[in-house]
Amino acid sequence: MNRIFEMLPGVLAWSTILLMFVLSWLVPVWVAIFIILFDIYWLLKTVYLSFYLRATFKKMRENLKIDWLEKLKSMVNSQWSSVYHLIILPMYKEPYEVVKETFESLSKANYPKDKFIVVLAIEERAGESTQVVAKKIQEEFGDKFFKFLTTVHPSNLPGEIPGKGSNQTWAARETKKIAIDPLKIPYENILVSVFDVDTQVLPEYFGILTYNFLTCERPDRSSFQPIPFFTNNIFQAPSLARIIAFSSTFWHMIQQSRPERQTTFSSHAMPFKAVVNIGFWNTDIVSEDSRIFWQCYLHYNGDWRVVPLFYPVSMDANVAPTFWQTMANQYKQQRRWGWGCENIPYFLSGFGRNKKIPLRKKWYWSFVVMESFHSWATNALIIFALGWLPIILGGPDFNFTMLSYNLPLITRLIMTLAMFGIATSVVLSIILLPPKPNWFKLWHYFLYSVQWLLIPLTLIIFGAIPGLESQTRLMLGGKFRLGFWVTPKYRPPTLRG
Q: Residue 184, by phi and psi: left (phi above 0), alpha (psi -120 to 50) or beta?
A: left
Exposed (0-12), middle (13-18) or buried (19+): which is 223, by Cβ within 10 Å? Answer: buried
Q: What was the pLDDT predicted at 406?
A: 78
- Domain extents in the chain: 1-497
Parts of the chain with a pLDDT under 70: 421, 492-497
Whether 190 contacts 272, CB under 8 Å = yes
End-to-end CA, the chain: 51
Query: What is the pLDDT, as a whole number, of residue 116?
Result: 97
Instruction: Judge whether 103 and 137 are in contact, CB under 8 Å.
Output: yes
What's residue 225's pLDDT?
98
147 DSSP β-pair partners: 117
Give whole-number Cα distances, 366 to 299, 312, 371, 373, in Å.
17, 29, 8, 11
CATH code of domain 1-497: 3.90.550.10
Instruction: Look at residue 143 and give its three-state secondary structure.
Output: coil
How far apart are the C-alpha atoms of 127 and 235, rounded to whole Å?
31
Question: How many Cβ atoms sit within 10 Å of the Cβ of residue 253?
Answer: 26
- Dihedral sign computed on CA atoms, order 56, 58, 60, 66: negative
pLDDT score recorded for residue 383: 86
pTM: 0.93
**Distance between CA atoms of 169 and 91, rounded to whole angstroms?**
13
Torsion, Cα 125 273 267 152, to 10 degrees, reads -20
The region, left, alpha or beta by phi > 0 then psi within -120 to 50, assigned to residue 229 is: beta
Which residues make Cβ contacts (< 8 Å) with residue 372, sequence separation at least 6? Answer: none
Spatial contact of 29 and 403, defined as CB atoms under 8 Å apart: yes
